[in-house]
Structure 1
Amino acid sequence: MTAMSMPMEYRQASADFDRFLLDARDIAGLQTTNQAYTMVQAVLQTFRRRLDLEEAILFADVLPPVLRAIFVAEWDVEEPKMPFAGRIAMTREVQSLRPDHNISPDSAIADVAAALRRNIDEAKLDRVLARLPAGAADFWRA
């Protein structure tokens, strides 16, 4: 029996995440990758609250390993599913995560979407978004 080699996405996970975080920082006009991390985490959590478990797993599957881990971390699966709302309301939700340390701009959702699309297979993402509730594809429009 031969051992399977480690998939490149895991071997490259840290470098890929660093590149994504730099893109998110630069697109959003933030000063540090720590600020970008908080914004990314908040955007992922805001999106996750609008999915049921099956939908979230479908979405997580298109994310690179580190973003996938952030997406599912500290998930309260008992939390009620929220509807997709207007961009302004969902942006305020993003900005409410750790508000003393969160300087996510009003463009945070679009900024993270742009960074994500720059760093993953967009066609695969769009195929998955088409299977998710109405509002999912709009959420990830850059």
Structure 2
Amino acid sequence: MTVPAECERASAQFYAYLVDARDTAGLWSTHLAYTMTQAVFQVFRRRLSTAEAIAFANVLPVGLRALFVSDWTPGEEPRDFQERETLTDEVRSLRAAHNFSPETAIRDVARALRRHVDEAAFEGVLAQLPEGAGDFWAP
């Protein structure tokens, strides 16, 4: 049996995303793009049930899928989607002393992420998620 192509190229694809996110957000480091993406993923994930989170993760490239599910405690009660400003404050609270996410972090991650996923599959899963999910990932 062969290794799936997405697994063989996982590191290169993940780094390409980080560079894209870094440039989209105007950050100076892929380390900052990593933290920004991790925070955006955690904020989004908190608003999904476990089944919804798994469905969303399944449309992500393997490296981003791993980041999406890392440091997760499944089974927590999903939170409601709120105004973008409130969600952005939540993004910026992850490792606050080392988090340089801009006010546009959610939009920036959405724009970069959409360039690295199958758009039809991504939109398909968003259509099945709670109200607010589509707006969260609007570029």
Tell me the TM-score normalised to structure 1 length. Answer: 0.95
Matching residue's letter, 1:122: E
Residue 19 of structure 2: aligned partner: 22
Matched, 1:65 2:62: yes
Aligned-pair Cα RMSD in Å: 0.8
Q: Deviations over 1:3-30 (max 9, x none)?
A: x311111001000000000000000000
SS of equivalent to 1:100: helix
Partners of 2:17 and 2:112 within 8 A in 1: yes
Residue 83 of structure 1: aligned partner: 80
Matching residue's letter, 2:82: A
Q: Greater Rg, structure 1 or structure 2?
A: 1
Tell me the TM-score normalised to structure 2 length. Answer: 0.97
Number of aligned residue pairs: 139
Q: Deviations over 1:4-61 (max 9, x none)?
A: 3111110010000000000000000000000100000000000000000010010000
Cα distance in 2, alignment partners of residues 43 and 92 from structure 1:
10
Structure 2 stretches of 5 or more lacking a match? none
Residue 7 of structure 2 is aligned with which of 4, 7, 10?
A: 10
Cα distance in 2, alignment partners of residues 44 and 34 from structure 1:
15
Cα distance in 1, alignment partners of residues 32 and 54 from structure 2:
26
Residue 100 of structure 2 is aligned with which of 82, 91, 103?
A: 103
Structure 1 stretches of 5 or more lacking a match? none
Structure 1 residue 79, shift from structure 2 partner: 3.2
Residue 135 of structure 1: aligned partner: 132
Matching residue's letter, 1:137: G
Matching residue's letter, 1:123: A
Cα distance in 2, alignment partners of residues 117 and 35 from structure 1:
19
Cα distance in 2, alignment partners of residues 72 and 89 from structure 1:
22
